[in-house]
Structure 1
Amino acid sequence: MSINSVPATTVIPEVDIVTVTPKLAEKWLRQNTHNRPLRKRAIADYSRDMAAGKWLQNGEAIKFASDGSLLDGQHRLYAVVKAGVPVVMLIVTGLPPETQETMDAGRKRTTADAFGLRGEANATVLAAVLKRVWLWDQGDYKFGQNYIPTTAECAALLKERPEIHRSVEIAVRVHQTFRYLPQSVTGTAHHLLSRIDSGEAVWFFARVGDGAELPAGHPVLTLRTRIMTDKADNRSIPDFRYMAYLIRAWNAVRDGRSLGRIIQAADASMPLPH
């Protein structure tokens, strides 16, 4: 098959490997006459991986019907255009139009699934922590208000900062004794606070877990009380608010001051740790 055109009709489906340029992607998208609504986040995620050279050929194809219409792959093609780089893709042409109804019917493989296949321990928590650390480093302190990192971006972050494995271990350990905090938040907070003072972070999260020998008004004791009260009152607390609780307690410990209560309004800015 020529990389410049798709046959209008074929009797038997054909398969080819093609370097899809932004110009070719635009041409093929003009044949996108019947498809599901676009998901802008998917296009953004794919394009970041493509632009960074992290897009891998995994056997998933761009599919065309026997009449030349695009059946599957619109998000990948839009991502090629957005990234402005050529991408090698598998192309299938000559499919019966009705096969579109059977495409993308399976469950999407998650980042946690990918890490589980690698044999990573606590893969679900690891994936969640990586996503939140990545978002924090992008300046999204409320975790995923606009977009989330791709599996490739999470894998790159783990390679750059393997110490996140330790943060996940700490999160799992804290959860065994203090089950009120989401492990994803604990692991994220441990990593971020360890960047400031790794030794103090060890003590801080040990006390978050056991609350041992803390006097009245101690920030960690106030933190634990606030979290347990929220749970007892069946309040739905988003992850970013738990993060704010942890940071407010951490900052008070660092400042050497007591803390009578912890408040974080939904529309308040995220406090930054010091």
Structure 2
Amino acid sequence: MLVEIGNYSLEFDDITPQIAKTLLEYNTHNRPLNLPHVKFLSKQMKQGQWQMAGDPIKVSTTGRLLDGQHRLHAIVDSNTTQRAIILYNVPDESFSVMDTGRVRQAADVLSIAGFSDTKTTAATARMLINYERSSIAATMKSQGRKEGSVVTHQDILEYMGSHDLTPYLSKASTWHKTLSIYSKAEYAFFYCILSRVSPDQSVLFLNAVSSGAKLEIDSPMYILRKKLTEYKMNKLSLSPSERFALTIKAWNLYRANKTVKTLAFNADKDEIPIPQ
């Protein structure tokens, strides 16, 4: 059934594997395929659990496939026929903002792909992506923005397809229950980047910060813990750059086996440290 809506044509159709293959032939300049997501959708289709959610497969005015490649690949992979909506005559230029303009959140996308604790997972992945893009100022911001770009849902899904964050998220949950001076995502983020320097010391450092057990008063972990706890209790705020910098400064002091009386960071004067 074809419905005309203004300049658009909306079709409700049964998409066979052959039709899916034909549509995919026009899948030019699309984002990289996330194979784990395709396999997840394919499994749902084979088990009869996949349902049309109302988000159409989109085809541009020039016949280019703009959105829906994962569903179409899953139809081919599962060798099943699925009911779907196809929206035709979508402007080609809308593709660049299609992923960031939708209401669906990154956590929803990860949930569809079969991940658990998706809000924390999405937030952790977003911070790691920004960190690896050398955008420290954006690293701990919830929107994940850096100059000229946005961390898209697709970015996060692709990152999770090639990175196993399970060990970091598991430990983060334990540390957060002990002391919530960081969010679970922040604990997981710090554990991940610090473990790249020293897997063993990263655990010892974050164990000490969260528990406070057997810490000397001039220990970098004690001073960091005290400062962040005071800010939290007094409902004061630190910028994302300050929170990151203070944590990394404490880590670097710990690694150098140094004691400290205070921890401070001036965003206008000091360079943001890197883990050593």
Aligned to 2:124: 129
Secondary structure of the residue aligned to 1:142 is: helix
Q: Distance in 2 between matches of 1:115 and 1:125?
A: 11
Secondary structure of the residue aligned to 2:173 is: helix
Aligned to 1:19: 26
Aligned to 2:56: 59
Q: Distance in 2 between matches of 1:216 and 1:134?
A: 35
Task: Give, in angstroms, the shift of residue 150 of structure 1.
Answer: 1.9
Write the deviation string for residues 158-181 of structure 1: whole angstroms up to 9, x where unpaired. Answer: 23221x221112221111011122
Q: Where does 1:216-235 land on structure 2 (aligned, <5 Å)? A: 216-235=217-236
Secondary structure of the residue aligned to 1:61 is: strand
Structure 1, 142-151 or 215-224: larger mean CA deviation: 142-151
Tell me if 1:245 matches 2:246: yes
Q: How many residues align?
A: 208
Task: Give, in angstroms, the shift of residue 62 of structure 1.
Answer: 5.8
Q: Where does 1:1-20 land on structure 2 (aligned, <5 Å)? A: 13=9, 15=11, 19=26
Q: Distance in 1 between matches of 2:123 and 2:251?
A: 22
Q: 1:266 to 1:205 in 2, by over 3 A?
A: same
Q: Where does 1:65-104 land on structure 2 (aligned, <5 Å)? A: 87-88=65-66, 90-92=86-88
Task: Give, in angstroms, the shift of residue 258 of structure 1.
Answer: 0.7
Q: Distance in 2 between matches of 1:116 and 1:240?
A: 30
Tell me the TM-score normalized by structure 2. 0.64
Secondary structure of the residue aligned to 2:136 is: coil
Structure 1, 193-202 or 109-118: larger mean CA deviation: 109-118
Q: 1:222 to 1:243 in 2, by over 3 A?
A: same
Q: CA RMSD in A?
A: 3.5
Q: Distance in 1 between matches of 2:27 and 2:215?
A: 62
Aligned to 1:202: 203
Secondary structure of the residue aligned to 2:273 is: coil
Task: Give, in angstroms, the shift of residue 259 of structure 1.
Answer: 1.7
Instruction: Percent identity, please.
Output: 18
* Aligned residue among 152, 155, 178 for 1:153: 155
Tell me the TM-score normalized by structure 1. 0.65
Task: Give, in angstroms, the shift of residue 20 of structure 1.
Answer: 7.6
Secondary structure of the residue aligned to 2:249 is: helix
Matched AA of 1:159 = G
Q: Is the 8 A contact 2:59 2:66 kept in 1?
A: no
Q: Distance in 2 between matches of 1:152 and 1:120?
A: 14
Tell me if 1:111 matches 2:106: yes
Write the deviation string for residues 74-99 of structure 1: whole angstroms up to 9, x where unpaired. Answer: xxx9xxxxxxxx64554436xxxxxx
Tell me if 1:189 matches 2:190: yes
Aligned to 2:271: 269
Q: 1:87 to 1:53 in 2, by over 3 A?
A: farther
Matched AA of 1:249 = A
Q: Distance in 2 between matches of 1:63 and 1:159?
A: 28
Q: Distance in 1 between matches of 2:115 and 2:26?
A: 33
Q: 1:62 to 1:201 in 2, by over 3 A?
A: same
Q: Is the 8 A contact 1:185 1:239 kept in 2?
A: no
Q: Where in structure 1 are there 5+ consecutive unaligned residues?
A: 1-6, 22-46, 65-76, 78-85, 94-105
Q: Distance in 2 between matches of 1:178 and 1:189?
A: 15
Q: Distance in 1 between matches of 2:32 and 2:115?
A: 24
* Structure 1 outlier segments of 4+, above 6 Å: none
